[in-house]
């Protein structure tokens, strides 16, 4: 199955969902609104907190495709060279409809 996760917040749940899904399915993630923050590189969370950037980087290495809403990233001062390795800035008007068309299932995590 092809699954699209639209990530609207910094969510560990979405990361676990993507990780579990990747074992059997093709997964893409579209980071929208505050969800773009998970793809910022250089995250230094406090002890006992998850480094979402590293987690997603690991999932990218296992086949997760991560597209970041360009206008959402720019609004938050996040530039393409500040993203974790493998994440890419997309054109939301083009990429979001294409990803929705690609997917068999779309899950919004907010």
Partner 1 sequence: MMLVLITKAPYGSEDAYAGFRAALMTSASGMKTDVLLMDDGVFNLVEKQNPTDFPSNLREIKILRGLDVEIYCTKNDLEKRNVKPQEYVKIVDKISELVLKNEVILTF
CB contact at 8 A, 84 and 56: yes
Please tell me whether residue 97 binds partner 1 under the rule CB under 8 A.
yes
Taking the C-alpha atoms of residue 108 and residue 8, their distance in angstroms, rounded to an integer, is 7
**Residue 83: CB minimum distance to partner 1, A:** 20
Question: Cβ closer to partner 1: 51 or 92?
Answer: 92
Number of residues that bind partner 1 (CB under 8 A): 17
**How far separated are the first and last CA of the chain, in Å rounded?**
22
What binding mask, one character per residue, do residues 5-24 give for partner 1 by CB under 8 A, x or -? -x-x----------------
Token couple for 30 = 């579209």
CA 21 to chain centre: 14
Give residues in contact with partner 1 (CB under 8 A). 6, 8, 32-33, 72, 92-94, 96-98, 100-101, 103, 106, 108, 110
């Amino acid at each position: 199955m092809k699954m699209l996760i639209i990530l609207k917040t910094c969510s560990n749940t979405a990361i676990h969902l993507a990780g579990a899904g990747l074992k059997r399915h093709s997964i893409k993630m579209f980071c929208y609104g505050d969800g773009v923050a998970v793809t910022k590189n250089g995250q230094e969370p406090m002890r006992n907190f998850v480094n979402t950037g590293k987690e997603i980087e690991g999932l990218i290495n296992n086949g997760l495709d991560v597209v970041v809403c360009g206008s959402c990233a720019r609004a938050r001062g996040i530039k393409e060279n500040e993203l974790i390795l493998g994440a890419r800035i997309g054109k939301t008007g083009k990429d979001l409809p294409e990803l929705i068309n690609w997917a068999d299932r779309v899950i919004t995590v907010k």
